[in-house]
Amino acid sequence: MSAEPTGTIKLFRKLDQIFLLTGSEADARPVKLVWARPVSGQGQEVSLLDDKKKEVLMLLNLDALDPTSRKIAEDELGRRYLMPRIVRVLRTHAHVGTRYWQVETNHGPRHFVVRNPNRDVVWVTDDHVVLRDPLGNRFEIPSLIALDAASRAEVDKVI
């Protein structure tokens, strides 16, 4: 793991690729940005990975970047970690261990399944939960208490 360097760190985008620049432009290398702790640590440590998924650089936070690079990083992380927030649970049911969800999110209606609640239901706090479907899509309920009573009853049926 590479520690955060003491020199200037810049990111730039060329077509759909992000490049890390720590010296001259000839030394620029393509990178992918990922949160080091995607569920509990968003907003903190960011790992920059090469095309073989090997860490090139670890940033303690995005404050190490100039405003233009920070905007590129925020946009990229936002796309990579798009996590619809569930605002209403319309219907749930369980069949042979699989949980079926029909919900409304801040990105519109969604249907998904949770196959293994022990692995695919992550409790961030006692009130905040992240659900993962078999395709790796994640859905967030930031506050179970904030859901309406009917939605809470549907959640209680399956988790």
Count of structural domains, the chain = 2
pTM above 0.75, yes or no: no
Question: Does residue 146 belong to any structural domain of this protein?
Answer: yes
Instruction: State in Å, rounded, how far the first CA of the chain is from the last one.
Output: 37
75 and 60 inside one domain: yes
Residue range 17-41, pLDDT digits in tens: 999 987 766 678 999 998 887 655 5
Range of the domain at 53: 10-80
Residue 1 lies in a domain: no
In a domain, 52, yes or no: yes
User: What tens digit of pLDDT does each residue of 66-120 get?
Assistant: 999 999 998 888 888 778 999 999 999 999 999 999 999 999 999 999 999 999 9
Structure tokens at 128: 């905040």
Tokens representing 35 are 């949160």
Q: Is the pLDDT of residue 7 over 70?
A: no
Q: Which of 116, 111, 109, 100 is nearest to 157 (CA)?
A: 100
- pLDDT in the model for residue 82: 79
Co-location of 101 and 74 in the same domain: no
CA 128 from centre of chain: 15
The pair of structure tokens assigned to 71 is: 């905007």
Same domain, 101 and 57: no
67 and 26, same domain (yes or no): yes
Same domain, 90 and 75: no
Same domain, 73 and 14: yes
Residues 32 and 92 in one domain: no
The single-letter code of the amino acid at 140 is E
Residues 24 and 41 grouped into a single domain: yes
Is the pLDDT score of 125 beyond 60? Answer: yes
In a domain, 107, yes or no: yes
**75 and 129 together in one domain:** no
41 and 94 co-located in one domain: no
Q: Which of 80, 96, 125 is the last residue of a domain?
A: 80
Q: Which of 120, 110, 107, 113 is nearest to 90 (CA)?
A: 110
Choosing from 63, 80, 97, the residue where a domain stops is: 80
